[in-house]
Amino acid sequence: MLGFMLTTAFLSMWVSNTATTSMMIPIAQAVLTQLMDMRISHNKNKNVLATQKVDINSGKQESLVLPELDTVEIIITPEDQDVKEFTNHQSEQDQIADQQESFELETLVKQKVREEEDFDFEALDPESQKLCKAMLLSICYAANCGGVGTLTGTGPNLVMKGQADLIADGKSGITFATWFVFAFPVAVINVLLAWLCLQVVYFGVRNIFKSGDKSEGEQVKKIIQNQYDSLGSMSFAEKAVMCHFVILVLCWFTLEPEFVPGWGSLFKHGYINDAVPAMVIACLLFVFPSSRKQDRAHDQTCRTLLDWKMFNRKLPWGVALLLGGGFALAHACKESGLSLWLAQQMGIMTGIPTWIMIAIICLIISLSTEVTTNTAVCTIFMPILADLAKGIHVHPIYIMFPAAISSSFAFMLPVATPPNTIAFSYGYLKIVDMVKVGWILNLLCVMVVTLAINTWGMAYFRLDVYPDWAVIPQDSLALLNTTHSDVVNHTLIDDSRDNFNDNITSLFNIG
């Protein structure tokens, strides 16, 4: 399970959480099918479908026939001592017949499992059911935790960077490299905590480091090795895409590594950002051929690694529109003066310790994202939290960063994230199965991100220093105060007029 979780978390750092879960769960399902195949075959030889009792003293043999089931097999299951004595009474021919019948049954079960490529979950023993539930939950939880490790891992990360760059005029300090330095340890810790919680809840504390059945372990290795061998060698197109991907990641890391000047310093400030390498690599995919020159000799219409039809079908246009709408909403709040007004009103929270306030905000956001998409939650909360930070004179990144990461901590409901929905669709899980583990993970992950932002996050981003770009101009504050005073005065005058009219009406009524 830990191997599946680490692999899923690593993939979700570079691929969307939904795509990662869609790739990994079928592999886990194939492994579970083979494991259940072994357990079903093993249990078939132990289940009592018809029991024969032998009276040793009288030499009589009694048989108890149980209700007819789908497959009927006569299996002798007395105690160990009785087995030895009864075996002596069996002829060699009967033993051969029993062995042949058992072998035929095992072959039939295996063939049936291969044909259906599934198993009856309700018919499994409780331990096997727990294994199936824990395996599916481990993959979807690892995808959610791993998505926060990189800037491009999930949608809320991009929302947070976009909002931070918008209010900081591109000087927020959030780049692909800086995000990775802070968020990657958080992702690793959360994945390990998720694995530990699943082990404790489903298998108990004593079985955390207990080795399982070696025969099952060897069978899992064979399954994975067979699936790996069936892939064959890497094609030219796959190698080309991998090279482009590696180049893109290197360009992201070396753009502004912070500790040394990156290649972005060769250009004028504001000309190069994280989007430039992505766009360059994307354009190259439309040009680079998908086969070698000798392979193209027989094919005049050579295809490229990416074409517009595939791009148009696979690009998540909804997420792009949602991000753009969030930026437009933040700009509207700034131009209308709503941001300044919120910043002033939220100044009442100055008496609360900042680390407690961050923990409360992260917990609220992680609970909110259980019933709606995490990208939408992050889009709504980011401008408000930026104004809150300005109102209490705190670095905006200090509040926005952990809040954005917490929007990916959705573990309790199937509708929270697409990975949860995919795992739930297999029919092994109930809502209570997700809730009893998810609420613990929500609390633990919020604690981890709160601790992270107050330790290495504080030192790395220098969050204890209030940035110049977050200072509210005095003329804007004066204008806001004047507008606010006018509103208050008009309200008082209206209230006084209403009170006067009420008093006059009361006097006339008394008269």
pLDDT tens digits, residue range 158-182? 889 888 888 887 778 888 888 999 9
Average the pLDDT over 403-410 and give the result: 91
What are 480's two structure tokens?
């806001």
Which range, of 210-214, 273-277, 422-426, averages the lowest pLDDT? 210-214
The residues facing 64 across adjacent strands are: 51
Rounded CA separation 454/182 (Å): 11
What confidence score (pLDDT) does residue 182 get?
A: 92
What confidence score (pLDDT) does residue 507 get?
A: 47
Q: Which amino acid is at 247?
A: I
Residue 81 has pLDDT above 60, yes or no: no
What confidence score (pLDDT) does residue 501 get?
A: 55
Rounded CA separation 445/411 (Å): 10
Q: What is the DSSP letter of 57?
A: T
Rounded CA separation 459/171 (Å): 18
What are 506's two structure tokens?
């009361």
Instruction: Give the distance from CA 323 to its chain's centroid.
Output: 20
CA 46 vs CA 64, 78, 174: distances in Å: 16, 11, 61
Residue 448 has pLDDT above 90, yes or no: yes
Pick from 346, 337, 441, 438: nearest CA to 386: 346
What confidence score (pLDDT) does residue 10 get?
A: 94
CB 168 within 8 A of CB 470: yes
Residue 201 has pLDDT above 70, yes or no: yes
Alpha carbons within 13 A on the beta-carbon side of 260? 4
SS (H, E, C) 381-398: HHHHHHHHHHHCCCCHHH
What confidence score (pLDDT) does residue 82 get?
A: 47
CA 304 vs CA 12, 74, 146, 287: distances in Å: 26, 62, 31, 6
The pTM for the full model equals 0.71
Confidence of residue 398 (pLDDT cuts 50, 70, 90): very high
Confidence of residue 428 (pLDDT cuts 50, 70, 90): confident
Residue 380 has pLDDT above 60, yes or no: yes
Rounded CA separation 169/174 (Å): 12
Position of tokens 């992950």? Answer: 445
Average the pLDDT over 30-57 and give the result: 62
What are 7's two structure tokens?
């692999």
> Torsion angle of alpha carbons 199, 203, 208, 211, nearest 10°?
-130
What confidence score (pLDDT) does residue 297 get?
A: 53
